[in-house]
Amino acid sequence: MPGIIMIVALFGMTGFYALADMISMLIHNKRAGKPFFYRSFEFIAIIGAPLFFLFFFDFGKVNDCCTDSAFFSPAHRPTIYTLIFLCIGAYYYSSLRKKTAPPLAELLVNCLLGTGLVLALLIGIHAQDPLMWVPGIPSVVFFYISQMVRNQRLLVEEIFDQSGGSLGRVNRICLAILRSNLYIRFPLLLIISVPLLMLISLLLYVVGQKPDAGIRAFTETYKLGLSQWDYKCENVQCGEHYLCSVAANGHPGIVRPVRLGKRNHHFIVCNRQLLISNAFEELIQEKFPALHRMIRLQYDKMGDRIHRNYDWYSKKWVSDLVYLAMKPAEWFFLFVLYMADHKPEQRIGRQYAPVDIFFMHKHFEIQSTF
């Protein structure tokens, strides 16, 4: 906890300084503080904050309804990472240079700065977390705005005494955009950024990224501001995806469901294989509790591996195969029950308390339509 407070305080101070720096640039046309001072805060906001965020909130994570899910869609995160590092490169190129680039290159640099600004806002919206907005996002936004203002004023100073008549048409258009009012320039930069982003997407397509990966990186996620895959988590019971439970969700004609049951306040489909397996576990727990704890530990680990890939195991044909593969185990469990229990069918029948029979029939009727 103290470490988190220190990090939040550091980024919070950076945000306040970034705001002061932007105001100083807008009013006095100069950076706030001495070079070492503003370079330190600049490094924290422009490089430190993105790397900290990517490492702790996204890198290496997968889409998962039951744990901390990936912030960006794992399949499309390379596109977002590339954009982030291009925007950082454009910022530091603008910040460290002594004079402006040729008009077209200057326009592209400013397009990347505008893209970085919008990307930071989208990340903040996607996060839905005050800790992202209070210390992190504002500092990035303020620094990017300051740099765009500085770029424009540096350009105006360099060409103030130049007529521009000898420039080509493209360069004259670029200069006109870069020298225009902020309210005109920024929307134009965003429009021009579209073909630039399309070009970047085309280059990334060569390495396996989809053309719309920048959008999919946000939408193909779970439980975040721009997520569109929340529906995939609606029927997921975290920590309860076991082989027999998966097998019971296959095609009714193969897995032969007998009724619905309740487990931890959730409805589950019960077939005889699932009931026999649970009855066998109950018997082992009664007769050999130490052995049961050891078996249960391994079974829970298997369940965790399954629920991390529930998209795959939700396919009915996969459930059918699991059901058939579990048949020998089912027969063994049934043999043990009949050998060790005086009333095996009663034990089997009481597994997972039955629910209303009308609801059960309606459920199976709906399921059979798929």
Pick the more confident residue, 300 or 190.
190
Please indicate, yes or no, whether residues 81 and 178 belong to a single structural domain of this protein: yes
How do residues 120-177 score in pLDDT, each as one tens digit?
989 988 987 665 555 578 889 999 999 988 888 888 777 654 544 556 777 778 878 8
Counted domains in the chain: 2
Among 144, 128, 182, CA closest to 50: 144
Tally of CA atoms within 13 A in the half-sphere of 229 that contains its CB: 18
CB-count exposure of residue 194 (10 Å: 0-12, 13-18, 19+): exposed
Please indicate, yes or no, whether residues 225 and 250 belong to a single structural domain of this protein: no
Please indicate, yes or no, whether residues 145 and 291 belong to a single structural domain of this protein: no
Indicate whether 257 pLDDT > 90: no
Q: Determine the average pLDDT of the residues in 269-291.
A: 85
H or E segment and range at residue 315: none
Say what the pLDDT of residue 365 is. Answer: 47
Pick the more confident residue, 246 or 44.
44
Please indicate, yes or no, whether residues 95 and 180 belong to a single structural domain of this protein: yes
Say how far apart CA 370 and CA 359 lie, in whole Å.
18
Through-space distance between the first and last CA atoms of the chain, rounded to whole angstroms: 49
Most confident of 6-20, 46-60, 157-171: 46-60
Say what the pLDDT of residue 84 is. Answer: 94
How do residues 204-240 score in pLDDT, each as one tens digit?
988 889 889 999 999 998 888 899 888 776 555 554 4
Q: How confident is the model at residue 258 (pLDDT cuts 50, 70, 90)?
A: confident
Tell me the residue range of the domain where 280 lies.
237-367
Which residues 6+ apart lie within 8 Å of 276 measured at CB?
330, 333, 334, 337, 348
Please indicate, yes or no, whether residues 318 and 363 belong to a single structural domain of this protein: yes
Please indicate, yes or no, whether residues 83 and 218 belong to a single structural domain of this protein: yes
Q: Determine the average pLDDT of the residues in 60-84.
A: 85
Q: Determine the average pLDDT of the residues in 17-23.
A: 88
Q: What percent of the chain has pLDDT over 90?
A: 16
Say what the pLDDT of residue 80 is. Answer: 94
Among residues 203, 232, 261, the one where a domain terminates is: 232
Say what the pLDDT of residue 247 is. Answer: 66
Please indicate, yes or no, whether residues 50 and 139 belong to a single structural domain of this protein: yes
Say what the pLDDT of residue 357 is. Answer: 44
Residue 60 Ramachandran class (φ > 0 left, ψ -120 to 50 alpha, else beta): left
Say what the pLDDT of residue 115 is. Answer: 93
How do residues 82-128 score in pLDDT, each as one tens digit?
999 999 999 999 998 888 888 888 889 999 999 999 999 899 889 87
Partner residues linked to 266 by β-bridges: 263
Please indicate, yes or no, whether residues 139 and 116 belong to a single structural domain of this protein: yes
Q: How confident is the model at residue 358 (pLDDT cuts 50, 70, 90)?
A: very low
Average pLDDT over the chain, rounded to an integer: 79
Among 59, 80, 65, 58, CA closest to 216: 80
Among residues 232, 263, 286, the one where a domain terminates is: 232
Please indicate, yes or no, whether residues 221 and 254 belong to a single structural domain of this protein: no
Indicate whether 306 pLDDT > 80: no
CB-count exposure of residue 195 (10 Å: 0-12, 13-18, 19+): exposed
Say what the pLDDT of residue 144 is. Answer: 93
Among residues 197, 232, 267, the one where a domain terminates is: 232
Please indicate, yes or no, whether residues 200 and 90 belong to a single structural domain of this protein: yes
Please indicate, yes or no, whether residues 226 and 245 belong to a single structural domain of this protein: no
Cβ contact 358:301 at 8 Å: no
Please indicate, yes or no, whether residues 358 and 296 belong to a single structural domain of this protein: yes
